[in-house]
Amino acid sequence: MLNIRKDFPYLKSKELDSIIYFDNASTSQKPYQVIEAISNYYAYHNAPVHRGIYSKSEQATTLYEESRETVSKFIGADKDEIIFTKGTTEGINFIAQSWASYNLKPGDEIIISKLEHHSNILPWIRLMQEKDIVLKYIPITNNFELDYKAYTKLLSNKTKLVSITSCSNAVGSITDLDFIIKHAKVYNAKVLVDAAQTIGHRDFNLKNLNIDFLAFSGHKILGPTAIGVLYISKDMQKEVRPYQLGGGMVLDVNDYDFISLNPPNCYQAGTPAIAQAIGLSQAIKYISDNIDYDLLKKHESALCAYLIQELSKFDHIKILGPKDQLSNSGHIVSFVSTLYHPHDIAFYLDQFNIAVRAGNHCAQPLFKNIGINGSVRASFYIYNTFEEVETLVKALNKLFRK
Task: Decide if residue 89 touches ligand PLP (CB under 6 A).
Answer: yes
- Least distance to ligand PLP from the beta carbon of 93, Å? 9
- Shortest CA distance to 149 belongs to which of 157, 139, 158? 139
Task: Decide if residue 169 touches ligand PLP (CB under 6 A).
Answer: yes
- Mapped onto helix, strand or coil, the DSSP state of residue 45 is helix
Cα–Cα distances (Å) from 83 to 13, 86, 175, 200, 228, in that order, read 35, 10, 24, 18, 8
Annotated active-site positions, please?
A: 362
270 φ, ψ to 5°? 85, 170
Size of the site for ligand PLP (CB under 6 A): 14
Span near ligand PLP by CB under 6 A; candidates 113-121, 185-193, 236-244, 322-330: 113-121
What do you get for the CA distance between the two ends of the chain, in Å?
36
* Among 67, 165, 301, 337, contact with ligand PLP (rule: CB under 6 A): 165
Cα–Cα distances (Å) from 51 to 48, 58, 60, 273, 322, in that order, read 7, 8, 10, 15, 51
What's the rounded Cα separation, in Å, for the pair 137 and 121? 10
Looking at residues 6 to 35 of the shown chain, list those that interact with ligand PLP (rule: CB under 6 A).
25-26
- Mapped onto helix, strand or coil, the DSSP state of residue 253 is strand
Task: Decide if residue 337 touches ligand PLP (CB under 6 A).
Answer: no
Considering the complex, state which of residue 120 and residue 282 has its C-beta at the smaller distance from ligand PLP. 120
Peptide bond into 264 cis (omega under 30): yes
- Least distance to ligand PLP from the beta carbon of 216, Å? 8
What's the rounded Cα separation, in Å, for the pair 342 and 319? 13
What's the rounded Cα separation, in Å, for the pair 99 and 101? 6
- Least distance to ligand PLP from the beta carbon of 45, Å? 26
- Least distance to ligand PLP from the beta carbon of 226, Å? 9
Span near ligand PLP by CB under 6 A; candidates 81-89, 154-162, 268-276, 295-303: 81-89
Which DSSP symbol is given to 240? Answer: P
Q: What string marks each residue from 190 to 219 as x (binds ligand PLP by CB under 6 A) or -?
A: ----x-xx-------------------x--
- Shortest CA distance to 65 belongs to which of 37, 93, 84? 84
Task: Decide if residue 276 touches ligand PLP (CB under 6 A).
Answer: no
- Least distance to ligand PLP from the beta carbon of 113, Å? 11
* Among 88, 276, 282, 327, contact with ligand PLP (rule: CB under 6 A): 88
* Among 93, 113, 119, 282, contact with ligand PLP (rule: CB under 6 A): 119
Strand intervals (E) in 5-72: 20-21
- Least distance to ligand PLP from the beta carbon of 26, Å? 6
Task: Decide if residue 384 touches ligand PLP (CB under 6 A).
Answer: no
Looking at residues 343 to 362 of the shown chain, list those that interact with ligand PLP (rule: CB under 6 A).
none
Residue-by-residue DSSP string for 100-156: IHHH--TT-EEEEETT--GGGTHHHHHHHHHH--EEEEE-B-TTSSB-HHHHHHH--
Span near ligand PLP by CB under 6 A; candidates 97-105, 115-123, 182-190, 320-328: 115-123
* Among 60, 68, 87, 336, contact with ligand PLP (rule: CB under 6 A): 87
Contact residues for ligand PLP (CB under 6 A)?
25-26, 87-89, 117, 119-120, 165, 169, 194, 196-197, 217
